[in-house]
Structure 1
């Protein structure tokens, strides 16, 4: 009986861990004041604008785990795509886009 309880408890912990969301998932206020949503999509995370001039536009795809992510970020105003990264620290997300990994620009987003 005790063995069954221990096994059931271990399985519950494993199942809960497997379904835990990544820190990047959620709604974020961008540096320009718009709202972006980051959600799981096909093994990575899609960044889509929810408010502002470019509402509904996908502006990035990032992959990673544990708070550090890398992929592509699009500047919707210029319609240019850059190599990008994101790093979550508490309720802040530092987004960075780079050209040739030399010329980089970063922004800090805040979790809503």
Structure 2
């Protein structure tokens, strides 16, 4: 009977790890209709374009937890780097960033997966 309890322990651990996954991880539809993936990386969480002209390009990295993050994002077309915040609420990611503290942009992405 003890082996059955031990066999169930790894499954319970995996289930708790999945439920503890940060809500920012996933595939997101950008405002221009392309898709981007946010996943864990050395810097915390990284944004990589999945489709469009910049597919495969990493465009941002953030650190934080519980749906609130700070970091940088690069606008692929202009190559401008924006420092800012990213927040997750349900199936929506909101980003607000500024470059040189004067040029600011806001983005809203919707979750695909």
Provide TM-score, normalisation by structure 2: 0.80
Q: What corresponds to 1:22 in structure 2?
A: 22
| Cα deviation, residue 31, structure 1 | 0.5
What does residue range 71-86 of structure 1 map to in structure 2 within 5 Å?
71-86=71-86
Segments of 5+ residues of structure 1 without an aligned counterpart are none
| Cα deviation, residue 97, structure 1 | 1.7
2:20 and 2:62 map into 1 onto residues whose CA distance is 18
| Cα deviation, residue 84, structure 1 | 2.3
Q: What corresponds to 1:96 in structure 2?
A: 96
Superposition misfits of 4+ residues, deviation over 6 angstroms: none
1:37 aligns with 2:37: yes
Q: What corresponds to 1:62 in structure 2?
A: 62
| Cα deviation, residue 42, structure 1 | 1.5
2:26 and 2:53 map into 1 onto residues whose CA distance is 20
Segments of 5+ residues of structure 2 without an aligned counterpart are none
| Cα deviation, residue 101, structure 1 | 3.6
1:54 and 1:109 map into 2 onto residues whose CA distance is 17
Q: What corresponds to 2:87 in structure 1?
A: 87
Provide TM-score, normalisation by structure 1: 0.81
Question: How many aligned positions are there?
Answer: 104
Moved more, 47-56 or 89-98: 89-98
Offset from partner CA, 1:79-102 (integer Å, 9 cap, x none): 111102210011000012212444
